[in-house]
Amino acid sequence: MPDLQEPIIAIFGARAVAAAIMTLLMLALHRNFRKDYLLHWAWAWLSLALYAASTAVAIGLEIQYHLAVSHPARMATALISGVAGNLQMVWLFFGCYELIRRRPIKIRASRFALTGASILGVVTALGGQLRVARPEDLIDLTSSGPRTILYAMVFIAGSIYLLQIRGHKERLGFLLLSLAFALWGAQQIHYLVATALHLLPDVAVPYATLLGFLDLILQSVMIVAMMACLLQDQSEASELATVEIEHLAYHDALTGLPNRPLFIDRLIVALAQANRANQTLAVFFLDLDRFKDINDSLGHNIGDQLLRAVAERVRRSVREGDTIARFGGDEFTLLIPRVERIEDAATIAQKIIEMLKIPFIIGENELFVTTSIGISLFPNDGADPETLVRNADTAMYRAKEHGRDNYQLYAPAMNARALERLALENLLRKALNQNELILHYQPLIDLKSRTVAGVEALVRWNHPDMGLLYPAHFITVAELSGLIVPIGNWVLRTACKQVRHWQRKFGYEISVSVNLSARQFQQPDLLAQVAQVLEETGLPPHSLELEITESSAMQNSENTIYTLREFKALGVRIAMDDFGTGYSSLNYLKRFPIDTLKLDKSFVNDITTDPSDAAIATAIISLAHSLNLDVVAEGVETEAQLAILTREKCDRIQGYYFSKPRSIQELEAYVAEHGAIIVR
């Protein structure tokens, strides 16, 4: 028989040599292409080489030297072929996984699989050795029982998997590899069946030789398949690289946002659409204020992280269809393809400004950032990308000039008043934060005792350029924009604090009147706010008089009554301001639980000249008194007016006749000069 066994040895030898060559080839390719799957495949081929070589040696030892199964040399070859055969399979699949998934296999998973395969190899090799009693069963060394089944299953499953994954069907490499796996699996099944039927011992060696050849052919198919895979992978990788390069060309590397060229591209498209649909489009130019300081003091690394965080925040505060781009440095642009009203653009700008005001936590630093935004609009401010961007940029500079931390519209895009209003709102917002608002206090004189019974707090804006501005200039804007709420809160707190201070200083309970706007009056937490201010300042509730107007009381009269009752319960007094203008229905006086009626100055103005006005005033005062209300006359400027009001037993007088609204010092001087008793 030895002469017949020799071809088998030769074939295993040839397979070993082919596999070894393949190992070297894979290593060389790996050096070139730096793909990890090539390394895995190199180990797979090396294992196969070891497996084939050790099998050849095993057969040689058996046939030539008639060594017993238990001989250490035979044990060693069996172990090597057992372990190497398994490892070959594992590495083969590692390679495929990495090729398909484009990511490395996890270290733990790979260790686990390799150890498992090795242990399995040792166990089956030892088991096989024990079972192999007859030399005819030699072939069992490689294909005995369970392991053969496992091999077959794994390869066939691998083949099906390769066929199924993401459209790899059309790709020759995967197709070939799948075919090679399928054949390999079929070959294993064939071994199994042949062994089970004892086919192999009978037909003996020529058949085995044939099988050996078949293995060699499959091995070659696999080599070709792997080469095809590599080529495909390379071309795909270069495609991906092209996409990536394109991305890099159109995106900012630091933030991942579109860059200038892409922004202009999108603006061109959006302009065409806006033009067709007759829509307004907005371009924002954002520039962080004093970013350079942060960069210089904390370093570029922190600066970069801040820019990334800023980009993220802006991205989150705009809608999906909007394009936010980084123009370079700390400059960003924003394209809003459709704005219904110009105010919408302003709202978005304000939202971004507010969003960026929330401190950034970068590393251990808490960074405070403000932003200046310029806005240009299509079609008003330009029809082409360059003009729009340039104009937005110009507007941004205007925002910087206006003291940063605000937005500016490029040009009169709406009528001049609306624009002015927006500008004013912008400035007013800052005024509140920068303590440009101050309060003046106008004395309310008690007619009976002729003392300063209280003061009305009246807000003023100490504008750095325009000087002292009166409420007529800004209260409407504050109400329309909602700014009246924070402003009103500030007024309330400041006035209560000041008057509490005076109560201590003057030694008697001077009261304070604070105006509430309709908007404030609708705030659900107004009562809580007032209660908190009283508690914080220590002002007795009955020393506070809140002034509401008829119009604000009427906006939701049921609610108003409820709110007023709650204030009553708190002990705070309520005055109806400007009575005699507007709706002026005596009906309200009964329905609303108020304490004081303030006759409007226009009304008071006429009582000396218009007899019917005087009659009405007299009637109102007596009606108010019958309803148990205090009456305050506003705008009393003359002795004659005072005389009538005194005669009609008006309770308190407010007006230039006694005093204009005064600053803190002026009011203190007034009280000091006249004492508590006013002797005019």
Site for ligand C2E, rule CB under 6 A: 442, 458-459, 470-472, 475, 484, 488, 491, 515, 517, 547, 577-578, 601, 634-637, 654-656, 661
Nearest to 512 by CA among 457, 560, 558: 457
Q: How far apart are CB 557 and ligand C2E at their closest, in Å?
A: 19
Segment near Mg ion (CB under 5 A), from 47-55, 292-300, 438-446, 627-635? 627-635
Q: What is the C-alpha to C-alpha distance for residues 535 and 185, in angstroms, rounded to an integer?
A: 85
Q: How far apart are CB 569 and ligand C2E at their closest, in Å?
A: 23
Binding partner of residue 82 among Mg ion, ligand C2E, none, CB under 5 to 8 Å per kind? none
Closest to Mg ion by CB, 318 or 455 = 455
Helices assigned H by DSSP within 516-610? 518-521, 526-537, 550-554, 557-570, 586-591, 601-606
Closest to ligand C2E by CB, 287 or 648 = 648
Binding partner of residue 459 among ligand C2E, Mg ion, none, CB under 5 to 8 Å per kind? ligand C2E
Q: How far apart are CB 508 and ligand C2E at their closest, in Å?
A: 23
CA atoms within 13 A on the CB side of 448: 6
Told to check if 545 binds Mg ion by CB under 5 A, we report no
Q: How far apart are CB 458 and ligand C2E at their closest, in Å?
A: 4
Told to check if 547 binds Mg ion by CB under 5 A, we report yes
Binding partner of residue 471 among Mg ion, ligand C2E, none, CB under 5 to 8 Å per kind? ligand C2E
Closest to Mg ion by CB, 447 or 514 = 514
Told to check if 577 binds Mg ion by CB under 5 A, we report yes
Return the sign of the alpha-carbon dihedral for residues 581, 582, 585, 589.
Answer: negative
Q: What is the C-alpha to C-alpha distance for residues 554 and 560, in angstroms, rounded to an integer?
A: 7
Binding partner of residue 36 among ligand C2E, Mg ion, none, CB under 5 to 8 Å per kind? none
Contacts 24+ apart (CB under 8 A), 188-192: 188/143, 188/148, 188/149, 188/151, 188/152, 188/155, 189/148, 189/152, 191/139, 191/142, 191/143, 191/148, 192/143, 192/145, 192/148, 192/149, 192/152
Binding partner of residue 475 among Mg ion, ligand C2E, none, CB under 5 to 8 Å per kind? ligand C2E
Told to check if 595 binds Mg ion by CB under 5 A, we report no
Q: What is the C-alpha to C-alpha distance for residues 63 and 66, in angstroms, rounded to an integer?
A: 5
Binding partner of residue 470 among ligand C2E, Mg ion, none, CB under 5 to 8 Å per kind? ligand C2E
282 three-class SS: strand
Closest to Mg ion by CB, 433 or 551 = 551
Let me know: does 218 contact 184? Beta carbons within 8 Å: yes
Please name the helix (run of DSSP H) or strand (run of DSSP E) that holds residue 439, with its range, or none: strand 437-446
Closest to ligand C2E by CB, 146 or 482 = 482
What is the chain's Cα-based Rg?
Answer: 46
Q: What torsion do the CA atoms of 197, 201, 204, 210 make, to the nearest 10 degrees?
A: 40
Closest to Mg ion by CB, 281 or 514 = 514
Q: How far apart are CB 418 and ligand C2E at their closest, in Å?
A: 22
Please spell the DSSP secondary structure of 337-349, one letter per residue.
EEESSHHHHHHHH
Closest to Mg ion by CB, 382 or 635 = 635
Please name the helix (run of DSSP H) or strand (run of DSSP E) that holds residue 575, with its range, or none: strand 573-579
Return the sign of the alpha-carbon dihedral for residues 215, 220, 225, 226.
Answer: positive
Segment near Mg ion (CB under 5 A), from 139-147, 237-245, 633-641, 667-675? 633-641
Closest to ligand C2E by CB, 517 or 560 = 517
Q: How far apart are CB 472 and ligand C2E at their closest, in Å?
A: 6
Segment near Mg ion (CB under 5 A), from 214-222, 234-242, 545-553, 660-668? 545-553
Q: How far apart are CB 514 and ligand C2E at their closest, in Å?
A: 7
Closest to ligand C2E by CB, 281 or 491 = 491
Contacts of 7 (CB under 8 A, 6+ apart): 205, 209, 212
Q: How far apart are CB 421 and ligand C2E at their closest, in Å?
A: 17
Q: Which two tokens stand for residue 9?
A: 């040895």
Binding partner of residue 511 among ligand C2E, Mg ion, none, CB under 5 to 8 Å per kind? none
Please name the helix (run of DSSP H) or strand (run of DSSP E) that holds residue 486, with its range, or none: helix 484-506
Let me know: does 291 contact 310? Beta carbons within 8 Å: no
Q: How far apart are CB 550 and Mg ion at their closest, in Å?
A: 11
Q: What is the C-alpha to C-alpha distance for residues 5 and 626, in angstroms, rounded to an integer?
A: 131
Segment near Mg ion (CB under 5 A), from 219-227, 466-474, 475-483, 508-516? 508-516
Q: How far apart are CB 463 and Mg ion at their closest, in Å?
A: 22
State which amino acid sits at residue 596: T
Binding partner of residue 337 among Mg ion, ligand C2E, none, CB under 5 to 8 Å per kind? none
User: Max Cα separation, the chain?
Assistant: 145
Closest to ligand C2E by CB, 171 or 519 = 519
Closest to ligand C2E by CB, 342 or 617 = 617
Q: What is the C-alpha to C-alpha distance for residues 215 and 206, in angstroms, rounded to an integer?
A: 14
Q: What is the C-alpha to C-alpha distance for residues 124 and 90, in angstroms, rounded to an integer?
A: 16
Q: Which residue in 371, 515, 552, 596 binds Mg ion (CB under 5 A)?
A: 515
Told to check if 578 binds Mg ion by CB under 5 A, we report yes
Kindly state the number of chain residues that form the binding site for Mg ion, as judged by CB under 5 A.
5
Closest to Mg ion by CB, 18 or 653 = 653
Told to check if 405 binds Mg ion by CB under 5 A, we report no
Q: What is the C-alpha to C-alpha distance for residues 137 and 201, in angstroms, rounded to an integer?
A: 7
Please give the residue ranges that form the binding site for Mg ion (CB under 5 A).
515, 547, 577-578, 634
